[in-house]
Amino acid sequence: MAPSVDELKRRAACRAVDYIQSGMVVGLGSGSTARYATLCLAEKLRRGDLRDLVAIPTSEDTAQLARQEGIPLTTLEEHPRIDITIDGADEVDPQLNVIKGLGGCLLREKIVAYATQREIIVVDASKLVSRLGTKSPLPVEVIPFGWRNTQAALERTGAQPRLRLVNGNPFITDEGNYILDCYYPGIADPQKLTAEIHLIPGVVEDGLFLGLVQTVVVASPEQVRVLER
């Protein structure tokens, strides 16, 4: 029987944790795949395979899980350079550019990725695409004030933006912002698009992670393989 998607995520996450060494500063991503990485890291710490490391979480949910599992936490203020971050993604293109943010944590995730020497993305094979924006919307975090004007401006970039809702109410990020999920018919020029988006007042950050990822660990039913940039 073929392994489930959750099992593929677990395999990819645990393979990524093999890159972590004792004494490192580690970024802990958010979402279902990154959760497996956090659990795998905690198990290695309990067994004594790793020691003397500290972690920086990219969301409040990840911070809570790490505390429950006994992973020592720190901050970017105390450790401004991170050795390795393990995170998930919603799409990965052949250049290892990715879309992130369906979990709602893209702002902190990008701040952590920018401070990281080696950003490792863990995915199942369904997340690989030839062009970004073909399967996943592009999440854009926006200030609540005037969000409809921001939405109209995003429409002018070619998007169909939808306010993310939870139980009929706007989804609120850890930083107190809204997310507009922007649907494009594929993104031909991600660099140009992110530059356009960041010129819009009210935009905090977008989910395009360009040139930030060094390694992608991909799990398929047949194998776990590693892609390097």
Digit-coded pLDDT (tens) for 174-227: 999 999 999 999 999 999 999 999 999 999 999 999 999 999 999 999 999 999
Cβ atoms of 97 and 213 closer than 8 Å: yes
Over residues 156-171, the mean pLDDT reads 98
DSSP lists the bridge partners of residue 227 as 216
User: For residue range 91-122, what is the model confidence (pLDDT) as tens digits?
Assistant: 999 999 999 999 999 999 999 999 999 999 99
Q: How far apart are CA 26 and CA 55, in angstroms?
A: 5
- How far is residue 211 CA from its own chain's centroid? 14
Helices 32-47 and 5-17, interaxial angle, to 10°? Answer: 50
Rounded to two decimals, the pTM is 0.95
Three-state secondary-structure class, residue 49? coil
Longest dimension (CA), the chain: 54
Catalytic residues: 109
- Please provide residue 122's backbone torsions phi and psi, each rounded to the nearest 5 degrees: -115, 130
Domain ranges (residues) in the chain? 5-130+210-220, 138-204
Instruction: Give the architecture-level CATH label for domain 138-204.
Output: 2-Layer Sandwich (3.30)
Distance from C-alpha of 205 to C-alpha of 224, rounded to nearest angstrom: 31
From residue 36, give the alpha-carbon distance in Å to each of 19, 29, 62, 114, 210. 15, 10, 11, 22, 24
Report residue 83: phi and psi, to 5°. -75, -55
Given CA atoms 33, 38, 41, 47 in this order, what sign does their dihedral have? negative
CA angle at residue 178 from 174 to 184, to 5 degrees?
120
What percent of the chain is predicted at pLDDT more than 70?
100
Burial of residue 5, with CB atoms counted within 10 A of its CB: 0-12 exposed, 13-18 middle, 19 or more buried: middle
The string of DSSP letters for 183-227 reads: E-S--S-HHHHHHHHTTSTTEEEESEE-S---EEEEE-SS-EEEE
Give dist(CA 183, CA 7) in Å, integer: 29
pLDDT band at residue 5 using 50, 70 and 90 as cut-offs? confident
Class of domain 5-130+210-220: alpha beta
**Spatial distance between the Cα atoms of 27 and 54, rounded to a whole number of angstroms:** 9
